[in-house]
Amino acid sequence: MNDVALVDLTTAVRIANGGQGTVFRLSNPPGTLLKLYHPGIAVLSDELGRLIELAGELRDVPAALPSGRVFDGGRCVGLLMPEAPDRFVTSLAGWRRLLELQFLLYPRRAMWADLVLPTWRERRLLAAAYVELFQALHHNDVVVGDVSMRNLLWTLAGGPGVFAIDCDGFRLAGRPPAVRPVYTAGWGDPTRPREITLDSDRYKLALVALRVLLGNHTVTPEEVCAKGFPSLGPELTALARHAVRPGRRPLAECWLGALEAES
């Protein structure tokens, strides 16, 4: 376990501030970020430790999985994690920006003028890459939990690829989360909006796949069933139909097979 004391960390530059904590880039080791939780955020250090131990077995998973716990005065106050690779970063209107999922789900905006968006075939490859990410995690009984347009990244540089950030919300199936769960509006299981399980994850996987394919930030499996989207084809439409049924939602393998069959 890579536990460190806050006072022993090197010079850090603040790069982001969120609802649960502030993220800093450390000068050493390079490529490492520190997430320092806001006061009042309770951390279950043992659960965070379990996630860190499992991360050692998931080195090939494209995700910023926690790599160490940070302590201050005997209390866990933060974590260490790798920074997203450079190919998941772009420049928009002169600002450095992570290539967040949101750029795939909204019509092009003026400030995105220089952003190269994927073709239909590349969208299918990106959707497949997200499915493979969920597949790898679920095979290890890891529940993603919070899914949003901000914590999933993508790129076309070097070929379509994806990367997950804010992974301290991941947890082992049946275990409590290391920090209180976040519920992103529009990305929950409508049948049990506060439930975070492998089954609810499979509904969110359906949301990711359908929204990437259709370039639509609000489309749901229910809407696909009601309206139909010819561009999806029969296999993907059938999977959307099953995704609305709790307990019978398609596994990642099913989505991957349909995407490969219709690509």
Cα–Cα distance, 58 to 81 (Å, whole number)? 14
Q: Which CATH code fits 3-82?
A: 3.30.200.20
Domains of the chain, residue spans: 3-82, 86-261
Amino acid 194: pLDDT: 81
Q: Give the CA distances from residue 99 to residues 55, 161, 254, in Å, rounded to whole numbers and listed in that order.
A: 23, 11, 27
Distance, CA of 221 to CA of 211 (rounded, Å): 10
For domain 86-261, say whether CATH 1.10.3720.10 is its number.
no
Give the distance, in angstroms, between the CA of residue 39 and the centroid of all CA atoms in the same chain.
25
pLDDT band at 9 (very low <50, low <70, confident <90, very high): very high
Query: Over the stretch 21-78, which tens digit does the pLDDT of each residue have?
Result: 999 999 988 999 999 999 999 999 999 999 999 988 898 999 999 999 999 999 999 9
